[in-house]
Structure 1
Amino acid sequence: MASLAQITTEHVIFGYSTTLNSSYDYALHCHNFYEIYYYMEGDVDYLVEGIHYKLSPHSLLLLAPNVFHGVRVNSGKPYIRIALHFFPEALSLERRAMLQSIFPGASKADTKEIFYADNVKEKIFPQMEALIDCAGLSESLKNTLLPVYLEALLARILSLGKENGEVQRKSDGSETLQNVINYLNRHYTDHITLDLIADKFCISKHHLNKVFRKATGTTLCDYLSYKRIIYAKQLLMGGHSAEEAAGKSGYTDYSAFYRAYLKITGNSPVKDRGALPSLIR
């Protein structure tokens, strides 16, 4: 991957880059920060919570914390994009709630769109260009202007509203599967088993596993683990003990929680307790 512009701070990472390598499989993950993905060129698909997005040049994707997603690079064509990751702490307190509102929540009733394809180049790319220019400034000026440019970008996205036109997406699963995903997103901290989901939605466990993996790229159990561990990480950073975070995120066995946390985050839960939000590791 070649970096064309880069900004890295505790609360914001901005990257303008190009890749020539294909992947064919989705690099699936979720995290505890916000992401804005601006696609410019290439042959890629994005998978978000079982929904497939066929990206078009100068389209925009919004990803909230704890959303399961991944990109697939279908060929060796130059894949050019801009990615912006940030924690809420990067935003001013008086405007934080308003600017975060562009990202939909987990509730099925939240109908805010995450994908924009119309008017994006005209309305959003100038804000991206400002961030690209910001990457070349002195450190002091960059640190001063970065929050201003970030908030200006979010405000511009807010103004897009519902003007994005027809959404280019498709689901590989049925309406039942989307209902399963919605249910998991609302109840992932509850005691959930494959048997429970199969019974609740009147579907065999074998078929459920098959269609769930096809739609999301992972198993139902791994999907739950990612959701729970990212939520547990947020609790730990808020000051909860590891035992409290395990219980509140849906684990009844601390050793199972510890193993899952280590596997997904790469470190022990104790390390993250009380840690300040930071994108620098």
Structure 2
Amino acid sequence: MRFGVINIDGAYVSAFNVLQEMSRDDIEVYHYNDSATYHVPPHQHDFYELYCLLNGPFTFHVENNRYALKPGSLLLVQPGEVHWPELEQPPRDIERIVLWLNPQFISSLSIFLPQTLGTFGENLQKEQLIIPEEKTYQVILGLLYSLLYEKNRADADSPYLCHLILSQLLVYLGRAMNEREMPPERLGARYREIMLVHEYINAHFKEELTVNDLAEHFYMDKNTLTRQFKRIIGMTPGDYIRRKRLETAHALIRQGYSVLNAGYSSGFSDYSAFYRAFCHLYGQAPSTFSSQTRKNRTAAYRNGK
């Protein structure tokens, strides 16, 4: 399915907001088209962030989840969730619309949108990715461009119109989130099955786990599992298990674990396999990364004195 992008001559493209902090107490919206996002380290906000990718694909991390974003998908990051874009070499320009929502302002709309706003809480604790139907996505995209238009116009009526547009946007986002609960035949016969596999890997990737184990556990043909998992998640089950282990090892090394302990604690039983995979993904040996991390910690400690 191909998702179009409304063409308004690249309107309202702004410089990247390096501070990543809200200056308003309601909403802020940005249209970026650059590679600046690659320089953003893992971070968190005290506000909601809606990420709408306009070209792609592009990989984004939220807490322990990794999302392969494409045009037509949306990512909603909750306040306090650690998130970051995945570094690629060489960096490339990424066009995206980013919407920031102040939680207190969103709560103030509960009188008008009680059912919709209920979505922005417990229902999002396990899932940040939103994949609307094409028509719903086009409406959402149009509303985001309307917010950009009002931001650019900035007359006396613009704040009120922005709030009205946002109210519509929240309704459509709520609908899109509810679409995730549709019967499997609406999302593809294998969708729910693959998402169960995805959740199982997230819970068991540190254990001895192979594609054959997954196929046997879920009573699926190995080739079908691999093909459908790659179609929905963006990589094969084996690649996803390896990536989860590497990301965990990377995080443990940053926390001060030794390279050996980080590798084994993340599910690697063979150090040479861990070494090769780490070098391939991160472009440096785990020992080099560990040494750099220790130096950075020492420098930060000295600077803090």
Q: TM-score, normalised by structure 1?
A: 0.54
Matched, 1:16 2:31: yes
Alignment of 1:1-281 (within 5 A): 4=13, 9-20=24-35, 23=38, 27-74=41-88, 75-91=90-106, 92-95=109-112, 97-105=114-122, 114-116=129-131, 118-119=133-134, 121-163=137-179, 165=187, 166=191, 174-176=202-204, 214-215=247-248, 218-219=251-252
Distance (Å, rounded) in 1 between the aligned partners of 2:102 and 2:113: 10
- Identity, % of aligned positions: 17
Equivalent pair of 1:43/1:77 in contact (CA under 8 Å): no
1:89-143: CA deviations, max 9, x gaps? 3232403653432335399xx6665332542532311111211211122342221
* Compared CA separation, residues 172 and 42, structure 1 to 2 (3 A): farther
Count how many residue pairs are aligned between Structure 1 and Structure 2. Answer: 188
Structure 1 segments of 4+ aligned residues over 6 angstroms from their partners? none
Equivalent pair of 1:48/1:70 in contact (CA under 8 Å): yes
Q: Which moved more, 1:160-169 or 1:55-64?
A: 160-169
Larger helix share, 1 or 2: 2
Gaps of at least 5 residues in structure 1 are: 179-210, 223-262, 264-281
Distance (Å, rounded) in 1 between the aligned partners of 2:205 and 2:12: 38
SS in 2 for 1:9: coil
1:214-254: CA deviations, max 9, x gaps? 249634997xxxxxxxxxxxxxxxxxxxxxxxxxxxxxxxx
Corresponding letter in the other structure for 2:154: S
Q: CA RMSD in A?
A: 4.0
Deviation, 1:76, is 3.5
Larger strand share, 1 or 2: 1
Equivalent pair of 1:134/1:145 in contact (CA under 8 Å): yes
Deviation, 1:162, is 3.9
Q: TM-score, normalised by structure 2?
A: 0.50
Q: Larger RCO: Structure 1 or Structure 2 (Cα < 8 Å, ≥ 6 residues apart)?
A: 1
* Compared CA separation, residues 26 and 175, structure 1 to 2 (3 A): farther
Gaps of at least 5 residues in structure 2 are: 1-10, 16-21, 181-186, 207-243, 256-299, 301-305
Corresponding letter in the other structure for 1:141: D
